[in-house]
């Protein structure tokens, strides 16, 4: 089924971009999409979405940052966020089995 859908989508795209008649249809479609994007009602929705996205980023930014830090620490195989000895940071290199110390 996926193969049929992909074939139909590819044939449609080939028609739009490959034939003169298809190119004319593509230009009409592009003009229609531009007109719709410039419509004040659509821009109102876009602005509302931008405000909601900014508010979500403000509200969830710290939580997402903490999750990213926790994921990075767990990917490095450590359970704590601080090294055992704060004066010594160990960086492991795949090519050098001995850890380098800084």
The per-residue pLDDT for range 54-99, each reduced to its tens digit, is: 998 888 888 888 888 888 888 887 665 555 555 555 555 555 555 5
- 91 in a structural domain: no
Rounded Cα distance between 32 and 41, Å, is 15
- 99 in a structural domain: no
- 24 in a structural domain: yes
Question: What's the number of domains the chain is made of?
Answer: 1
- 53 in a structural domain: yes
Rounded Cα distance between 21 and 26, Å, is 9
- 59 in a structural domain: yes
- 29 in a structural domain: yes
- 56 in a structural domain: yes
Judged against a pLDDT cut of 80, whether residue 43 lies above it is answered with yes
Q: What sign does the CA torsion over 58, 60, 63, 65 have?
A: negative
- 60 in a structural domain: yes
């Amino acid at each position: 089924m996926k193969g049929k859908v992909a074939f139909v989508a590819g044939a449609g795209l080939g028609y739009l971009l490959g034939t003169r008649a298809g190119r004319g249809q593509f230009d009409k479609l592009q003009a229609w999409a531009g007109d719709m994007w410039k419509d004040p009602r659509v821009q109102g929705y876009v602005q509302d979405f931008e405000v909601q996205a900014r508010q979500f980023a403000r509200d969830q930014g710290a939580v997402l940052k903490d999750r990213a830090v926790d994921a990075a620490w767990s990917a490095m195989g450590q359970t704590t966020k601080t090294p055992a000895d704060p004066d010594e940071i160990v960086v492991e290199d795949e090519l050098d089995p001995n850890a380098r110390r800084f």
